[in-house]
């Protein structure tokens, strides 16, 4: 039998901008809310030293922004658990059993807002060098490489921002991108023009990692001419080659697209009427802070309407 005291109206998985905004809207709609986060609050945005593309009166760091949102959400009465969701199953009366590594919870509805995880380079030996030279976060780990030579791989906003950030700390930064033009926005890429210690290696890819206990050098090959190969002695390699969704725990209940993103309609509702999805983990074209927050609000409103319809309040 279900213990009614442990049942939440809405269980939200993931406390990035989408999950936090969903919690804000859900509490304002008077729903009981449990927010489950496996690591740290805020998701990717906490890595941004300055958020300038969010409609705030003043730009703020990602951490400042998230701190304010967490304070707001907890002050409104959302419960928070730090734990990893391992499975979700349908149980009696349309309820959902959410199993975490250390506990289990019951929800009348679920909002998945699990964001993305860093994509790996896919190179032999990569795993052994993670934390031993390979990093996925320049802001977190850049200071370990003060006055050293490092490389950044990727051509998006993250890679370019990482290279610019590291150029202020490191002696030399190689920015290695597989094409001849950046995916990064022009305004972001223009920042490289004032970084004399950043060397661009365009049309290039890393093909091998070398070192014993720590990365010591990499082999870089031209993507145009296979025979053009360069060895770079570096102490750190920052992989900024995009992200992948974290939806494995939900794949049996909801539809995932070919690349693992959760499929939902415009109201963020999945094929299950009581499971909603918000933010970067869903199939969509624009993944930005502002669209993650918007999804959170939309999903919470849809979940609240679903709950109200059950209660006959719609
Ligand atoms: P991204 O835009 O997906 O860029 C990933 C980059 O990595 C691309 O240049 C891609 O190359 C390259 N790449 C992918 N797989 C690779 C592989 N196996 N080997 C080598 N290179 C590979 O990822 P992101 O830069 O992390 O950005 C993610 C999202 O966050 C984007 O929407 C971005 O605009 C947003 N963002 C915004 C800001 C901001 O301040 N506004 C800051 C950071 C991120 P190709 O270009 O050839 O595909």
Torsions phi, psi for 86 (to 5 deg): -105, -25
pLDDT of residue 192: 97
* Coil/strand/helix, residue 88: strand
Catalytic residue, from 140, 180, 257, 265: name it.
140
Number of independent structural domains in the chain:
2
Instruction: Give the pair of three-digit tokens for residue 266.
Output: 């415009």
Pick from 239, 257, 275: which residue ends a domain? 239
Residues 6 or more apart whose CB falls under 8 angstroms from that of 279 comprise 14, 16, 17, 18, 19, 43, 113, 114, 115, 287, 291, 292, 295, 296
Do 148 and 45 lie in one domain? The reply is no
pLDDT of residue 314: 59
Classify residue 155: in a domain, yes or no.
yes
Specify the DSSP class assigned to residue 208. E
Pick from 223, 239, 255: which residue ends a domain? 239
Q: From the CB of 43, is ligand 1 less than 6 Å away?
A: no
Pick from 239, 258, 285: which residue ends a domain? 239
Q: From the CB of 253, is ligand 1 less than 6 Å away?
A: no
pLDDT of residue 14: 97
pLDDT of residue 287: 86
- Cα–Cα distance for residue pair 10/106, rounded to 1 Å: 9
Classify residue 2: in a domain, yes or no.
no
pLDDT of residue 40: 86
Do 28 and 51 lie in one domain? The reply is yes
- List the domain range (segments joined by +) for residue 281: 7-118+243-313
Q: From the CB of 159, is ligand 1 less than 6 Å away?
A: yes
Do 175 and 251 lie in one domain? The reply is no
Query: For the whole model, what pTM was predicted?
Result: 0.76
Q: From the CB of 53, is ligand 1 less than 6 Å away?
A: yes
- Tell me which residue of 299, 314, 163, 295 sits closest to 237, measured CA to CA: 163
Do 51 and 113 lie in one domain? The reply is yes
pLDDT digits (tens, 9 = 90+) for 32-58: 999 999 988 998 788 777 787 888 878
Do 133 and 232 lie in one domain? The reply is yes
Do 180 and 145 lie in one domain? The reply is yes
Do 65 and 198 lie in one domain? The reply is no
Do 218 and 294 lie in one domain? The reply is no
Do 27 and 56 lie in one domain? The reply is yes
Classify residue 131: in a domain, yes or no.
yes
Classify residue 1: in a domain, yes or no.
no
Do 212 and 247 lie in one domain? The reply is no
Residues 6 or more apart whose CB falls under 8 angstroms from that of 50 comprise 59, 60, 61
In the chain, which stretches have pLDDT less than 70?
Answer: 1-5, 313-314
pLDDT of residue 6: 76
**What angle is formed at CA 292 by the lines to CA 305 and CA 179, rounded to 5 degrees?**
145
Catalytic residue, from 67, 141, 212, 280: name it.
141
pLDDT of residue 4: 60
Classify residue 181: in a domain, yes or no.
yes
Classify residue 275: in a domain, yes or no.
yes
Is 137 annotated as catalytic?
A: yes
Classify residue 26: in a domain, yes or no.
yes
Whichever domain contains 89, its CATH number is 3.50.50.60
* Coil/strand/helix, residue 40: coil
Do 50 and 64 lie in one domain? The reply is yes
pLDDT digits (tens, 9 = 90+) for 118-129: 899 999 999 999
């Amino acid at each position: 039998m279900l213990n009614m005291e442990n049942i939440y109206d809405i269980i939200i998985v993931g406390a990035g901008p989408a999950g936090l905004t969903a919690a804000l809207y859900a509490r304002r709609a008077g729903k009981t809310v449990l927010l489950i986060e496996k690591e740290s609050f805020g998701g990717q945005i906490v890595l941004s030293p300055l958020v300038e593309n969010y409609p705030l009166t003043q730009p703020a760091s990602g951490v400042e922004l998230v701190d304010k949102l967490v304070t707001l959400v907890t002050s409104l009465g959302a419960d928070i658990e730090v734990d990893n969701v391992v499975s979700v199953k349908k149980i009696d009366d349309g309820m959902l059993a959410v199993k975490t590594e250390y506990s289990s919870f019951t929800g009348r509805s679920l909002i998945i807002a699990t964001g993305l995880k860093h994509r790996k380079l896919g190179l032999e030996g990569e795993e052994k060098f993670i934390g031993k030279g390979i990093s996925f976060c320049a802001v977190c780990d850049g200071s370990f490489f003060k006055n050293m030579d490092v490389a950044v791989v990727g051509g998006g906003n993250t890679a370019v921002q990482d290279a610019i950030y590291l150029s202020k700390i490191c002696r030399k930064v190689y920015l290695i991108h597989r094409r001849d033009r950046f995916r990064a926005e022009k305004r972001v890429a223009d920042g490289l023009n004032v970084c004399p210690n950043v060397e661009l290696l365009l049309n290039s890819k890393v093909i091998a990692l070398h070192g014993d206990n720590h990365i010591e050098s990499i082999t870089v090959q031209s993507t145009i001419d296979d025979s053009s190969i360069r060895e770079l002695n570096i102490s750190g390699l920052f992989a900024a080659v995009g992200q992948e969704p974290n939806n494995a725990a939900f794949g049996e209940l909801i539809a995932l697209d070919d690349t693992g993103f959760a499929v939902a309609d415009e109201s963020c509702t999945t094929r299950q009427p009581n499971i909603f999805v918000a933010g970067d983990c869903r199939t969509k074209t624009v993944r930005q802070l502002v669209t993650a927050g918007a999804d959170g609000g939309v999903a919470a409103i849809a979940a609240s309407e679903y709950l109200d319809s059950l209660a006959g309040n719609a």
